[in-house]
Amino acid sequence: MAVRAAVLPAVGSPLEITGIDLPDPGPGQVRIRLAAAGVCHSDLSLSDGTMRLPVPAVLGHEGAGTVVAVGEGVTHVAPGAGVVLNWAPSCGACHACGLGEVWLCANALNGAAGVHARRADDGTDLHPGLNVAAFAEETVVPASCVLPAPEGVPLTDAALLGCAVLTGYGAVHHAARVRPGETVAVFGVGGVGLAALQAARIAGASRIVAVDVSPHKEELARAAGATDYLLASDTTAREIRALTGRQGVDAAVECVGRAVTIRTAWDSTRRGGRTTVVGIGGKDQQVIFNALEIFHWGRTLSGCVYGNCDPARDLPVLAGHVRAGRLDLAALVTERITLDGIPAAFDAMLTGKGGRALVVF
C-alpha cells in the first residue's frame, strides 16, 4: 500500500507531495509510522544543492514515530515501540569513530545512496534523503538509525531531539563548552538557535544575546532564555560589545551559515573567546580574516557537526532536562503543519521568517 511523502525530484525543483511504495523491512531494517517530523534548514540545503546527496529523494531527517515491523536480526526495538530517528548513525569502524568522534563518522551518510522506495505513479527509484526519509507517513530505515524514544516525552515533541535539539544543545555544551557565568551570543533564531538559547540558559550563562533578522522572533528568543535581542545589522558586533563591557561575549554560536554572519559572530567574541559555526553554508560563502587579527584576538573558530553529539549518549541527558522542566521542546515549534504544508515551510525558511515547523501526522 502506498504512503504519502514529500519527494525532491531534482536539485532546485519544488517538492512534490505524492504516493510512494515502501518495501517490507529486510534484515537489519525497521519500518516506522511517523508521529512527527521537523522541517530543518538541512533539508533546504539538500533541495538547493548546498549539500550533495543522491536525488530523487524523500526528504526529512528529524522525526519520531512508532515501530510497525522489524526485519531479521533487529532486537533493540519491537513493533509498538516509540523511537527517535538518528539520521547520522556511526559505523564504529572508521578513523573518527575510533577517536570517539562519532559525529564525524566517514560512513554516516552511506545509506543515502541506496534505493529507499519507488514512486507509486511511475515506479521511479527514490533515495532516502539524509538516510531516514522522515517526510512520509511511514519509512523504512536501518536499525542503526533508530533509538528508543525517551520515556515521558510525547513522540511529537521527541521528533525535535533527532536534530534541532541535539545540534543546538551540543553546540553550546560540547563545541563552545559554555560555563556558568559566561556570556553567549546566538546568531539565528530558528529551531537550532532556539535550542542553543535554551542550552545556554541550562549551562548557567549570565547574559545571552539573541540575534536575528526578524523582529517577530524576539518573544520566542526571550522565552528560550535570551536576556537581550538584537536585529542583525552592520553594527551588531559593536552592540554586543557594548552589552558586555566592551569585551565581547565569551562564546558566539552561529546558526545561519552565511559569511557575513560568521564574520559578525567572530567580531562579537571577546579576545580569547570561542566562535562556533553550526550553520551550513555554501562554497561561495567566503569568510576573510587577516593573519594579524588571528594572532591578536587569540580567538578560537571551530565548526560543529550534529552538535558534536553522540545521540546514544546525549539523548538520555536531554530527556532528563525535558522531564525536569529545564528544556521545553514545544517552545521550539513555531508552526504545526501537515505534510502538504512542507513546501510553504521551505519558502518561509528562504525568507528568514520561518522558525521550526513541525509536521504532525
| pLDDT per position as a tens digit, 287-333 | 999 999 999 999 999 999 999 999 999 999 999 999 999 999 999 99
pTM attached to this predicted model: 0.94
**Which portions of the chain are predicted below pLDDT 50?**
none
Place of cell 563552545: 176
- Residue 176 near residue 253 (C-beta atoms within 8 A): yes
**Is 165-305 the same fold as 3-149+329-360?**
no
pLDDT for 48 equals 86
Looking at 14-137, list the stretches that DSSP marks H as alpha helix, in order from N- to C-terminal side. Answer: 41-47, 95-98
pLDDT for 24 equals 95
pLDDT for 230 equals 98
pLDDT for 42 equals 86
Of the chain, the percentage scoring pLDDT greater than 70 comes to: 99
pLDDT in tens, 36-47: 999 988 888 888
pLDDT for 353 equals 67
Return the CATH superfamily for domain 3-149+329-360. Answer: Medium-chain alcohol dehydrogenases, catalytic domain (3.90.180.10)
Domain 165-305, CATH number (from 3.40.50.720, 3.40.50.10260, 3.40.50.1360, 3.10.20.30): 3.40.50.720
Break the chain into its structural domains and give their ranges.
3-149+329-360, 165-305
> Alpha carbon of 286 to those of 232, 258, 277, 281: distances in Å?
19, 9, 13, 9
pLDDT for 50 equals 85
pLDDT for 354 equals 62
